Amino acid sequence: MGNKNSALPLLAACVLTDESLTVGNVPDIGDVRTKLAVLESIGVATRFTANTCTLNAAAVRDELPDAALSARIRTAALLAGPLLARFGRAQIFRPGGDRIGRRRLDTHLLALQSMGAEIATERDRYVLRTKRLRGRDLFLDEMSVTGTEQAVFAAVLAEGTTTISNAAMEPHVQDVCRCLNAMGASIEGIGTHDLVVEGVPTLHGAHFDIGPDYMEVGSLIGLAAATGSRIRIKGAHPHEHRMTRIMYGRLGVDWQDDGDDIVVPADQELAVVPDFDGTVPKIDDMPWPGFPPDLISIALVLATQSRGTVLIHQKMFDRRLVFVDRLIEMGAGIVICDPHRALVMGPSRLRGERLVSPDIRAGMALVIAALCAEGESTIHNVHQIDRGYERLDARLLALGANIERLQE
């Protein structure tokens, strides 16, 4: 499926023009449906069929998106840049999305403020106004994905040149920049930490197909390795998984690249590979091109099935490891060192349990754990998983999993 983290910001790009924007390869997931509803709440006309979204913002009538819908997804905040750039005003609510710790908007707001936005902070929202956005030399205070996208959205219609240093460069950030260029923007440095945006008077409509979701690909690699299954993942863009190969490789996982496909062999002998001095290795997350924080949950479950001891260090969010207690209840040999680190000693014979999905990636990790476990597991709150994985139960069923969706 297409990259969720490309689709969500790209849908907001429609506000930058009064012509139609068509985005292809969009996953039919909960967060996309919510984002479309948020856009509709300000007057955007939307159509979503066969994984293709067509949007037209010619009739946008409101600077304030629906509060309840905005609270459900973090990327609702990405309307600030497009609304400011086109209309000179915007209101955004405090961010929603996964509850994985504090997720500040300061990087967004500081960039917009530097470009000429006046910002008032109210109890539940930020109110932004500007007479004219102007290009600036920006150095972001953190390598924030959405902060980078926000700055780019504001810069494409700003007066003059904007340089964005310390920019995020994930594949989905690259998708956003390429789509904007297809709409008539002038963005250079795509795929690096330094972007140069030359403001243009207007943008036009375009058709853009987003790339594959490398988080989903990384999840499926972990699923195959943990369950001893052979899986071919088509259109996986193997070049996006070089760091995933290194980190999963510390657990004994390997795969073959076949053109643009990834083939995970069956029945791999999973074993932790110690560091050269014989010490316990570490799997940790970093900004791109480092190991993605969204795959830490998958790597942790994979580690429970690998022989040996490994340290999982989740540095970028405060609450990514809250689901580990559920794995311990299933029989996993894990010592929680602190909110950011867990020592995993495997392999563990997991047993089925009643589980609750706390967020998208932890939910997928629990699905993998349940497929490895002896006996039956029931996972509640699966709407969290549906937010990021399209028809996961049906696709796993087609692969041979014993899985069934029930109504509560």
Which residues are known catalytic residues?
98
Query: What distance in Å separates the CA atoms of residue 216 and residue 200, rounded to the nearest whole number?
Result: 35
Backbone angles phi, psi at 365, to 5 degrees: -60, -40
| Whether the Cβ atoms of residue 316 and residue 288 lie closer than 8 Å to each other | no
- Count CB-CB contacts under 10 A for residue 93: 19
H helix runs in 159-233, sequence order: 171-182, 214-227
User: Strands 378-380 and 354-356: what pairing?
Assistant: parallel
Cis peptide before 347 (omega within 30 of 0): yes
The end-to-end CA distance of the chain, in Å, is 27
Task: Identify the residue whose tokens are 């969009």.
Answer: 26
What is the torsion angle, in degrees rounded to the nearest 10, for the CA atoms of residue 315, residue 142, residue 98 and residue 293?
-40
Cα three-residue angle 298-340-150, rounded to 5 degrees? 75
DSSP letters, 227-275, are HT--EEETT--GGGGHHHHHHHHTTT---EEETTEEEEPSS---B----
Query: What distance in Å separates the CA atoms of residue 119 and residue 111, rounded to the nearest whole number?
Result: 11
User: Residue 109, SS3?
Assistant: helix
Backbone angles phi, psi at 334, to 5 degrees: -135, 135
| Whether the Cβ atoms of residue 168 and residue 137 lie closer than 8 Å to each other | no
Query: What distance in Å separates the CA atoms of residue 237 and residue 304, rounded to the nearest whole number?
Result: 27
Cis peptide before 339 (omega within 30 of 0): no
| Whether the Cβ atoms of residue 391 and residue 405 lie closer than 8 Å to each other | no
Query: What distance in Å separates the CA atoms of residue 398 and residue 228, rounded to the nearest whole number?
Result: 16
Closest C-alpha among 308, 302, 321 to residue 227: 302
User: Residue 77, SS3?
Assistant: helix
Cα three-residue angle 15-18-24, rounded to 5 degrees? 65
